[in-house]
Amino acid sequence: MATHTGGCLCGAIRYEVTGEPVRAAHCHCDDCRRATGASFATNVFFKEEDIKIIRGTPKQFHHKADSGNTMTKEFCGDCGSQLFGIGSGSTGVRHVKAGTLDDASFVKPQIEVYTSKKLPFTRLSDDTEHFEASRPR
Ligand SMILES: [Zn+2]
Ligand SMILES: [Zn+2]
């Protein structure tokens, strides 16, 4: 089974993911934009047990999403890199931020969510399915 490694900018936190992502999504929502400081986030979802932190302990920040779900952002307390996200609405899965993977070339985003919030200069990909808000269940 494929194993991929990743970590934060300063190296205090390192992790390993095994297996295939459940899904990968570009998220254009305001929260992802603010939290990452980027124009959108690329969230790669894995089964909870497939993500293993091998060094360090991330700090947590909790906030409410407009869905009403509690979202947890996990980040490095030293360098501020955002590594993981957990949503109370998605049990058993959590995501890693694609930019923290050492080699994210295996990631193939299938969907883009909250496209209604995207910045005017962000172009949607032809290879993804687009949703104006969250992914319908
Ligand atoms: Zn760090
Ligand atoms: Zn988002």
Centre of ligand 1 to C-alpha 74, Å, is 11
pLDDT digits (tens, 9 = 90+) for 20-66: 999 999 999 999 999 999 999 999 999 999 999 999 999 999 999 87
Centre of ligand 2 to C-alpha 65, Å, is 9
Centre of ligand 2 to C-alpha 41, Å, is 7
Report domain extents, the chain: 3-130
Centre of ligand 2 to C-alpha 103, Å, is 22
Three-state SS string across the chain, please?
CCEEEEECCCCCCEEEEECCCCEEEEECCHHHHHHHCCCCEEEEEEEHHHEEEEECCCEEEEEECCCCCEEEEEECCCCCCEEEEEECCCCCEEEEEHHHECCCCCCCCCEEECHHHCCCCCCCCCCCEECCCCCCC
CATH of domain 3-130: 2.170.150.70
pLDDT digits (tens, 9 = 90+) for 93-102: 999 999 999 9
Centre of ligand 1 to C-alpha 103, Å, is 17
pTM above 0.85, yes or no: yes
